[in-house]
Amino acid sequence: MTETVTADTRDTRQRILDAAEGVFMACGYDGASMRQIAGDAGVNLAAGHYHFGSKEALFQAVLNRRLHVLNQERLRVLDELEAKAAGAPLKPSQILDAFFGTLLRMAITHGPRGQTFLRLIGRTLTEPSEFIRTALSKEFADVLERYKAALFRALPEVPKEEIVWRFHFMLGATSYAIAGIDTLRLITDWQTGATDDDLERLAPRLMSFLLGGLRAPLPAAPAAPQPRGNVRNRRKKP
Amino acid sequence: MTETVTADTRDTRQRILDAAEGVFMACGYDGASMRQIAGDAGVNLAAGHYHFGSKEALFQAVLNRRLHVLNQERLRVLDELEAKAAGAPLKPSQILDAFFGTLLRMAITHGPRGQTFLRLIGRTLTEPSEFIRTALSKEFADVLERYKAALFRALPEVPKEEIVWRFHFMLGATSYAIAGIDTLRLITDWQTGATDDDLERLAPRLMSFLLGGLRAPLPAAPAAPQPRGNVRNRRKKP
DNA sequence: AGAGAAATCAAACGATCGTTTAAATCATAC
DNA sequence: GTATGATTTAAACGATCGTTTGATTTCTCT
């Protein structure tokens, strides 16, 4: 009973995953059809259900296949940084590079399929569908907890709530920057179809932007809408 | 032939638009069904097609109804700022507030429906569907051109290409921050269902973050892959 | 009131969807 | 070889989709 998978089986599964990745990216979850995925993969329609059970399960498999190795790598890089720091807080730039830089580098080294996946998760993060949300939450829970803690230590003078918000903003800028390279053509008037160069040049630009945003001065308004306050002390919460 | 719309007609159209706004936001374009929209609106299934022609046209109508007034307001505010500046370049913070602040303020003043719309466009901007892209491009062309020009003048030392990229990042952080307030619960462990306060407190935080990212130091790597440069002067281009 | 346009309604159309079924094919062990 | 299990295949199922139709109701105007 030790999972005797033949070579042919793995090929079919892999082909389905690859095709599904592309179709889900191009059409979204609802817009994609099992028939188109099977067609692109060159397999029978029923193969998808045979190997994965359902469309939802296939989508989760597509996400997890790459998300898992990405997040494992993120944890490994963070471990390495913290070991090298020997107890001292990390620099914000190090943390951002470990989280977002790892993402971008993985997409580059994995070729066009990596970019496809990047754009897929960019789309996916804005889909509030229930099963997608739970799938992502399980896959991201550990990583986000670790990186949040690292940022808290790196920026002790910034309220934790503020850091969480800015982490959220950075996620948005990143996923959007990747998912919406087409959208950028909506802003600019480029018609250059560059793809590889786009991504390689995106990384340093994005990292600068994220770092600037993360270290921006705190908002002037104390973010708590209580204008009747006679006390305006800004107690620094430990 | 002067468009004699009766009161009842406007009510039905409005109800359909409101319901469609909510369903499209919750389910996405493909996930939403005309039957559910009609049901939520309390009208017959055929009413949607009678008043709008097709599902695509209904979606465009939902987008344009609010996008148009938003972008008109954005242009008006920018006009006002530039008139007051009397030829001098605007401050980046003024431009960002005119663009993103107007968006957030409109969402707040329009109540829960405004937030629904905000989250809808947050989702929509990541859908690369063809007709959606063209619809958005038409609606955004003028505004983006004006604001790009204003930013170019405000930041003459920053390469225009860099500004366009950062504009893109800011759009992403904003749309994602709004569309994904649920996603934020994926990061944090809040279970508070706050909505109004969330948005009101979001604005100053987001503006600080955007401004910090916009004014971040330029990426160390000159973004052009020519490492053989023997000159490392950072000429300030006029 | 009555003609005519505008709007609503119930019902159906064809298409496509995810999923299932049962037979056919392949691989592997005895 | 045959038997057994894994995989692939063709075909169909029921459900839901966007859209259309034609009758019916509501409104507008003389």
* Contact (Cβ atoms closer than 8 angstroms) between residue B125 and residue A180: yes
**Could you read off the pLDDT of A135-182 as tens digits, one per residue?**
888 889 899 999 999 999 999 999 998 998 899 899 889 987 877 655
* pLDDT top residue among B231 and A202: A202
* Contact (Cβ atoms closer than 8 angstroms) between residue B67 and residue B121: yes
Q: Which tokens hold the place of A104?
A: 């971008």
- Mean residue pLDDT of chain B comes to 83
pLDDT recorded at residue B149: 96
pLDDT recorded at residue B80: 97
Q: Which of A44-48, A174-178, B26-30 has the lowest mean pLDDT?
A: A174-178
Q: Which of A188-197, B49-58, B158-167 has the lowest mean pLDDT?
A: A188-197
B 1-20 residues with CB < 8 A to A: none
* Contact (Cβ atoms closer than 8 angstroms) between residue B159 and residue B235: no
* Contact (Cβ atoms closer than 8 angstroms) between residue B166 and residue B213: yes
**Residue A200 touches chain B, beta carbons under 8 Å:** yes
Query: If you classify domain A8-53 with CATH, what class do you get?
Result: mainly alpha
Q: Give residue numbers, 18 to 47 of B, with CB < 7 Å from strand D.
A: 32-36, 45-46
pLDDT recorded at residue A181: 59
CA-closest candidate to residue B105, choices B209, B210, B204:
B204
SS3 per residue for chain A: CCCCCCHHHHHHHHHHHHHHHHHHHHHHHHHCCHHHHHHHHCCCHHHHHHHHCCHHHHHHHHHHHHHHHHHHHHHHHHHHHHHHHCCCCCCHHHHHHHHHHHHHHHHHHCHHHHHHHHHHHHHHCCCCCHHHHHHHHHHHHHHHHHHHHHHHHHCCCCCHHHHHHHHHHHHHHHHHHHHCHHHHHHHCCCCCCCCHHHHHHHHHHHHHHHHHHHCCCCCCCCCCCCCCCCCCCCCCCC
CA-closest candidate to residue A140, choices A75, A187, A221, A199:
A75
B 78-137 residues with CB < 8 A to A: 122-123, 125-129, 133, 136-137
Q: Where are the domains of chain B?
A: 7-53, 64-214
Question: Span A57-84, mean pLDDT?
Answer: 96
- Mean residue pLDDT of chain A comes to 83
Q: Could you tell me the distance in Å between the CA of residue A51 and the C1' of nucleotide C21?
A: 16
pLDDT recorded at residue B229: 35
Between A30, A127, A209, which is nearest B213 by CB? Answer: A209
Q: From the CA of B1, how many Å to the nearest CA of chain A? A: 37
Q: Where residue B121 falls among pLDDT bands split at 50, 70, 90?
A: confident
- Domain A62-214 = CATH 2.40.50.140: no
Question: Span A99-117, mean pLDDT?
Answer: 89
Q: From the CA of A167, how many Å to the nearest CA of chain B? A: 9
**pLDDT above 50: residue B178:** yes
Chain B neighbors of A162, CB-CB under 8 A:
205
Give yes or no for CB of B47 within 7 Å of strand C: yes
pLDDT recorded at residue B110: 85
CA pair distance A32, A205, nearest whole angstrom: 32
Which residues have C-beta within 8 Å of that of residue A67, sequence separation ≥ 6?
A121, A139, A140
Q: Could you tell me the distance in Å between the CA of residue B34 and the C1' of nucleotide D23?
A: 22
pLDDT recorded at residue A115: 82
Question: Span B151-171, mean pLDDT?
Answer: 93
**CATH superfamily membership of B64-214:** Tetracycline Repressor, domain 2 (1.10.357.10)
CATH number of the domain located at residue range(s) B7-53 in this protein = 1.10.10.60
Q: Where residue B84 falls among pLDDT bands split at 50, 70, 90?
A: very high
* Contact (Cβ atoms closer than 8 angstroms) between residue B177 and residue A168: yes
**pLDDT above 90: residue A35:** yes
**pLDDT above 50: residue A226:** no
Question: Span A15-30, mean pLDDT?
Answer: 95
* pLDDT top residue among B227 and A174: A174
DSSP category for residue B49: H
**Same CATH topology for B7-53 and B64-214?**
no
Q: What is the dihedral of CA B188, B191, B193, B199, to 10 degrees?
A: -10
**Residue B165 touches chain A, beta carbons under 8 Å:** yes
B82: number of Cβ within 10 Å: 20
**pLDDT above 70: residue B102:** yes
pLDDT recorded at residue A29: 95
What percentage of chain A reaches a pLDDT higher than 70?
79
